[in-house]
C-alpha cells in the first residue's frame, strides 16, 4: 500500500482486492444478481432508465450486467481487470475495456449515457475522506464523458445517515478486519442524500427512486436476509446540462 497519494485515488491494496474478488468470484456474484428477488426489482428499474439509449459506458462492469443489454444499442464495459479474465464472454453489442472509474480512458462527450451500478461503495481510499473524494471524482469523470443532454444513471446501495456515521467512526478498524478475514474488498456505503448532493453539483435535473428490497440482498458477496441490514438500493438519473461545457462543472 502506498503511504501517500493524491485525493481521489484508491490504495493499491483496495484496488488489488477489488480486482481479485470480481475476477475470482464473478460467476457466483452474477448468479446472485440474476436470481435474488431484490436484484430482479433492480433490473426492472435499470431497464426503465436505460431503454432506448444509443451508446453507453458501463463503469465498473465486472463482467456482470444488472440490466437487459439488448435495450442499449452499444455498450462499452469498463473495469480494472476485463483484459485479465480468460474466456470472459460478452453480448455482441458490448465492447470490454480496461480502465478506472477515477480516470476514464474515453474522450469528452462521447456517450449518451453512463452507468455506475453498485460501484460507488467499492471506491475505497486510505481514509473515509479520501473515499468520498473518490466518489466525487468518479461522478466528475462520468459527466465529462457524457454528451450534453446525456444521462448519468447510478444504482447504489445506500444506508441511513446514522449508519453512515457509524461507518465513519469504525472505518480504519473495519478495513483492517475485512482485509484479514474476507476475500471481498472493504466498502463504504453512503446515504442517498450524500450522493444526491454530489450529483447535483453537475446537474439540475436529478430523479431519485428508492427501490424496494425483497427478502434477500448480497452483503460482501454473500446472500443475506434483507431485514437484517439497513442497506437499501437507490436509483439516480441525472441529465447533463446542454449548456455545460465539456464535463467541468
Q: Is the pLDDT confidence value at 186 over 90?
A: no
Rounded CA separation 15/147 (Å): 29
In tens, the pLDDT along 142-182 reads 999 999 999 999 999 999 999 999 999 999 998 888 777 76
Rounded CA separation 120/134 (Å): 8
Q: What b/e string do you get for 90-120 counting C-beta neighbours within 10 Å, with b at 16 or more?
A: eeeebebeebbbbebebeebbbbbbbbbbbb
Which parts of 85-159 are beta strand (E)?
94-98, 111-117, 146-158
pLDDT at residue 133 in the model: 97
Could you tell me the pLDDT band of residue 223, with boundaries at 50, 70 and 90?
confident
Report all structural domains of the chain as residue ranges with CATH numbers, in order of start: 12-239 (3.40.50.150)
The DSSP letter of residue 101 is T
Mean pLDDT across the stretch 40-55? 97
The DSSP letter of residue 225 is E
In tens, the pLDDT along 9-38 reads 655 666 665 666 666 655 555 555 667 899
The pTM for the full model equals 0.85
Mean pLDDT across the stretch 109-120? 97
In tens, the pLDDT along 48-87 reads 999 999 999 999 998 889 999 999 999 999 998 877 665 5
pLDDT at residue 16 in the model: 67
Amino acid at each position: 500500500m502506498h503511504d501517500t497519494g493524491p485525493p481521489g485515488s484508491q490504495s493499491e491494496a483496495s484496488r488489488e482486492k477489488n480486482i481479485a474478488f470480481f475476477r475470482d468470484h464473478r460467476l457466483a456474484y452474477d448468479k446472485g444478481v440474476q436470481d435474488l428477488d431484490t436484484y430482479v426489482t433492480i433490473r426492472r428499474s435499470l431497464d426503465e432508465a436505460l431503454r432506448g439509449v444509443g451508446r453507453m459506458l458501463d463503469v465498473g462492469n465486472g463482467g456482470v450486467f444488472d440490466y437487459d443489454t439488448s435495450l442499449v444499442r452499444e455498450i462499452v464495459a469498463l473495469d480494472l481487470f476485463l483484459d485479465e479474465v480468460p474466456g470472459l464472454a460478452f453480448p455482441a453489442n458490448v465492447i470490454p475495456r480496461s480502465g478506472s472509474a477515477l480516470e476514464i480512458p474515453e474522450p469528452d462527450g462521447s456517450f449518451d449515457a453512463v452507468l455506475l451500478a453498485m460501484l460507488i461503495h467499492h471506491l475505497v481510499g486510505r481514509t473515509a475522506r479520501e473515499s468520498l473524494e473518490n466518489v466525487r471524482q468518479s461522478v466528475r469523470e462520468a459527466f465529462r464523458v457524457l454528451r450534453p443532454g446525456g444521462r448519468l444513471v447510478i444504482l447504489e446501495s445506500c444506508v441511513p445517515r446514522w449508519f453512515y456515521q457509524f461507518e465513519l467512526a469504525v472505518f480504519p478498524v473495519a478495513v483492517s478486519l475485512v482485509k484479514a478475514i474476507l476475500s471481498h474488498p472493504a466498502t463504504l456505503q453512503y446515504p442517498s442524500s450524500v450522493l444526491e448532493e454530489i450529483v447535483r453539483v453537475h446537474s439540475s435535473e436529478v430523479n431519485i427512486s428508492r427501490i424496494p428490497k425483497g427478502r434477500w440482498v448480497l452483503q460482501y458477496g454473500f446472500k443475506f436476509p434483507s431485514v437484517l441490514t439497513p442497506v437499501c438500493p437507490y436509483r439516480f438519473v441525472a441529465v447533463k446540462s446542454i449548456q455545460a461545457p465539456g464535463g467541468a462543472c
